[in-house]
Structure 1
Amino acid sequence: MINRSKISLNRIIYPRLKLEDFFKFVKDLGLNKIELRNDLPGGKIIDSYTPGQLKELSKKYGVEILTINALQKFNLTAILPETIKELKKLINLSLSIGCKAIVLCPNNDVNDKRSSEEIFKETVKALKSFGPLFKDSGLWGYLEPLGFEECSLRSIITAMKAIQESGYPVYKIVHDTFHHHIGPDTFEIIKNNYGIFYTGLVHISGVECNIP
């Protein structure tokens, strides 16, 4: 059984709940970690709180902020300057609220015509560009491969290789159960090719099936 101290709740499970109520909800469940998001209704990561107020809430309820989810389209060179600006904002916010990591989501677009070689090179380029920012801030970058067919980064193996190629030990991988289910990585592939120490976070997501 997983120790409760290792379990975190992502705010997406109750997106319309006010942030303080979410903190209380987490505490009432006997948990002490959360993930924040920048894609919820209203578009504000910390609602209308100041960073100082949010740190007080964290202290009040004994809740640690693990990540902000997410920096989108991180591996698209065409918008890399804008992505770096957004990352700097997320890093500054993370530092001000005691957040440990920022989730990096790849470009997920059916109109992405890049070859697999181009995508890998652009993924590595992005990680090399972000590396000094994560290193200087002391934060982690968590790559989250998405299993969708159109996604530019579907495999945790490819993500691991991109991290290795970047040369920056500031990255980990988010292994999502839903995206694993629909993605290309089989148990044997992972067993034979993946270093488990690259996993920074596991997302336990629901997968529907037709089994009675």
Structure 2
Amino acid sequence: MDFAINHISTPKLSVQDFFAMVRRLGSDKVEIRNDIPDVMNTLAPGEVKAAAEAAGVTILSINALYPFNVWSGDLPARAETMADYAAACGAKALVMCPLNDGTSVSRDDLVEALKNMAPILRERGLTGLVETLGFPVSSMRTKAEAIAAVEAAGGADVYKLMHDTFHHHLAGETEFFPEWTGLVHISGVTDPDVTVDDMLDAHRVLVDGDDRLENIPQIKALLAAGYDGPISFEPFAEEVHALDDPEAALRESIGFVTAGVKDTASAQ
């Protein structure tokens, strides 16, 4: 498997230290963010690009443009600023997340947003990674809905899906779209008491044997169906961010996922 690491896994590390850690873990692919940590608004893009080149890592994406499906207010300007930064720092894609506050967004507005975003991405040679959020309050929960909107917007050349194992589970999705998938985010939920509808980003830890999200079956299904892209660790939980040795924890999770997928495949 082709593993990547999202900077939210180790938000206390500088980009230089983060990139160096990723290489020690045997990966050469990373994701940076504009929230936790806010690399985009604290470092010049040239500095990030130089650090990535020095470390020998590829920046897969910047997380995230939100809420991309409400094309009003300052969103168009923020979209251009983010795309400019991505192009300047050498990132390949922007992650795009829908409104997630209980407000519905019409299909027409979703399609219009995708139409408006497409030229911004095309002009800079970027991919838009459309991420559906499985939360009950999300305005776009399923990947089938996202694909239909991308097709209606004529954006198949510039958009791919983000398959997030957490959101896939929360939305109760059963269908996989490997041909549409540009990147996979993995994280686990181990709290035995929280219900699926009450799961939040704060519950998202590294994947281990207590995982309730069926990460191993999801990854196996994607790989079996032909997905051959990166699989990126994206834990949001404070308990992960506070670890004294996040590198060791990531190494252990990488080993668990690798062994789990291999064992599952061998049993077929």
Give me the TM-score of the superposition, normalised by structure 2: 0.68
Give me the TM-score of the superposition, normalised by structure 1: 0.85
Q: Which amino acid aligns with 1:133?
A: I
Partners of 2:188 and 2:40 lie apart in 1 by 24
- Structure 2: unaligned runs, 5 residues or longer: 193-208, 211-268
Report what 2:51 is aligned to. Answer: 57
Report what 2:107 is aligned to. Answer: 120
Partners of 2:45 and 2:66 lie apart in 1 by 22
User: RMSD of aligned C-alpha atoms?
Assistant: 1.8
Determine if the alignment matches structure 1 residue 26 to structure 2 residue 22: yes
Determine if the alignment matches structure 1 residue 180 to structure 2 residue 168: yes
Partners of 1:31 and 1:95 lie apart in 2 by 22
Query: Counterpart of 2:74 in 1: which secondary structure?
Result: helix
Partners of 1:63 and 1:147 lie apart in 2 by 30
- Structure 1: unaligned runs, 5 residues or longer: none
Report what 2:84 is aligned to. Answer: 92
Match of 1:197 among 179, 182, 189: 179
Alpha carbons 1:37, 1:69 under 8 Å: kept: yes
Runs (4+) off by over 6 Å:
none
Partners of 2:77 and 2:21 lie apart in 1 by 33
Report what 1:103 is aligned to. Answer: 95
Alpha carbons 2:19, 2:52 under 8 Å: kept: yes
Which fold has the larger relative contact order, with Cα–Cα distance below 8 Å and residues 6 or more apart in sequence? Answer: 2
Q: Report percent identity of matched pairs.
A: 38
Q: Which amino acid aligns with 1:62?
A: G
Q: Which amino acid aligns with 2:136?
A: E
Pairs aligned (count): 193
Q: How does 1:91-170 map to 2 (within 5 A)?
A: 91-110=83-102, 112=103, 114=104, 118-168=105-155, 169-170=157-158
Partners of 1:184 and 1:125 lie apart in 2 by 27
Partners of 1:195 and 1:185 lie apart in 2 by 11
